Amino acid sequence: MTNKTEEKESETCPAKGLLKLLAGKWKPEIFRMSVEAPVRFSSLLRYIEGSNKQTISVALRELEEVGLLEKVTIRLKPLHIEYNLTEKGKSLVPVFKQLEALGK
């Protein structure tokens, strides 16, 4: 599909763009874990079975680029990074809860 076709489809069905964004590998799980508390990269690797550094990094970067997560550097020794839901991300929590209920 070309970019123009994708743009046209997202204009006619805005939900399609959101679903495509959130359907990426590990993104729903990262989002779910972020709802409960800020998450660290190492925690994601430990708790998401089958994940690896590359796929988690890509998913985090994409969620950050669209404004659903924010990367926060904690300047303690040792330095560490957490990912928090943004206000935009928090606005999707009810949607995810409904999807979870439907899935059950």
In a domain, 38, yes or no: yes
| Residue 52 domain flag | yes
Per-residue pLDDT tens over the stretch 24-51: 889 989 999 999 899 999 999 999 999 9
State phi, psi for 80 to the nearest 5 degrees. -145, 165
Q: What number of helices (H) and strands (E) belong to the chain?
A: 7, 3
Instruction: Using DSSP bridges, classify how beta strands 80-85 and 69-74 pair: parallel, antiparallel or unpaired.
Output: antiparallel
This prediction has a pTM of 0.79
Q: Is residue 82 part of a domain?
A: yes
Host H or E run for residue 68: none
CATH of the domain at 34: 1.10.10.10
Can you list the pairs that 66-70 forms with residues at least 24 positions away whose Cβ atoms lie under 8 Å? Answer: 66/21, 68/31, 68/92, 69/30, 69/34
